[in-house]
């Protein structure tokens, strides 16, 4: 199985969206440009880096000539622009698209390295979510794992459908597209209707 890749410009755009979310959080916390750049880096490539280390693959961005410059440029954009420019739902929707795509691509890459389906699903979730988890932990905020919104769940849906689809005799490109679409739809529904998972409430 060949590991899937996005077209280079789309791949960089997705990384930039994740990086921007980290950089903007740092600017809202009134941090220095160094911290803003670091937040952009760990949010943009954190999930994919952890995945590659776990599956024994070369870390995807280390030998890429474009990823690090794009992340640094994104950090500078966040630093030199007012936060009000980024208010609203545009960034949330772009993040939802990146989450869906990278959860599926992370799963498919793990499968291409002969990782078993269930661990591969977890690799997909890690790819889509861990950068945001690291960002929130560094900022001292409740991470996405601690919030009831359908974020990790959407990544898990896309990753699961990708892994299951790999077992079927259908074109894998079709599987990846449908799995990403399902993850994006679930995340989008959560954004529109504020769908959340119920919290644990059993009395002791």
Q: What are 4-43's pLDDT values in tens digits?
A: 677 788 899 999 999 999 999 999 999 999 999 999 999 9
Residue 99 lies inside a defined structural domain of this protein = yes
**Domain coverage including residue 57:** 8-193
Residue 198 lies inside a defined structural domain of this protein = no
- Tell me how many domains the chain contains: 1
Residue 116 lies inside a defined structural domain of this protein = yes
Residue 204 lies inside a defined structural domain of this protein = no
Structure confidence at residue 204 as a pLDDT band (50, 70, 90): low
Residue 200 lies inside a defined structural domain of this protein = no
In percent, the amount of the chain with pLDDT more than 70 equals: 97
Residue 3 lies inside a defined structural domain of this protein = no
Question: What pLDDT is attached to residue 35?
Answer: 97
- Calculate the average pLDDT of the chain: 94
Query: What is the pLDDT averaged over residues 59-63?
Result: 95
Query: What is the pLDDT averaged over residues 139-159?
Result: 93
Question: What pLDDT is attached to residue 2?
Answer: 64
pTM beyond cutoff 0.85 = yes
Predicted confidence (pLDDT) at residue 147 exceeds the cutoff of 90: no
Question: What pLDDT is attached to residue 131?
Answer: 96
Question: What pLDDT is attached to residue 8?
Answer: 85
Residues 112-140: tens digit of each pLDDT: 999 999 999 999 999 999 999 999 999 99
Residue 1 lies inside a defined structural domain of this protein = no
Task: Give the C-alpha separation, 22 to 86, whole Å.
Answer: 12
Residue 142 CB neighbour total at 10 angstroms: 10
Residue 202 lies inside a defined structural domain of this protein = no
Predicted confidence (pLDDT) at residue 181 exceeds the cutoff of 90: yes
């Amino acid at each position: 199985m060949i590991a899937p890749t996005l077209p280079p410009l789309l791949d960089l755009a997705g990384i930039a969206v994740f990086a921007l979310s980290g950089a903007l959080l740092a600017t809202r916390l009134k941090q220095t440009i160094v911290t803003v750049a670091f937040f952009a880096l760990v949010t943009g490539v954190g999930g994919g880096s952890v995945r590659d280390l776990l599956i024994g693959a070369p870390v995807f961005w280390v030998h890429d000539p474009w990823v690090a410059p794009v992340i640094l440029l994104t950090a500078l954009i966040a630093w030199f622009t007012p936060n009000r420019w980024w208010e609203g739902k545009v960034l949330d929707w772009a993040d939802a698209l990146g989450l869906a795509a990278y959860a599926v691509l992370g799963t498919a890459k793990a499968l291409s390295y002969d990782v078993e389906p269930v661990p591969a699903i977890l690799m997909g979730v890690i790819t889509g979510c861990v950068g945001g988890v690291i960002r929130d932990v560094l900022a001292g905020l409740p991470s996405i794992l601690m919030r009831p919104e359908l974020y990790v769940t959407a990544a898990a849906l896309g990753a699961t459908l990708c892994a299951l689809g790999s077992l079927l005799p259908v074109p894998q490109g079709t599987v990846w597209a449908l799995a990403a679409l399902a993850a994006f739809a679930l995340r989008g529904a959560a954004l529109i209707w504020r769908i959340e998972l119920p919290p644990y409430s059993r009395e002791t």
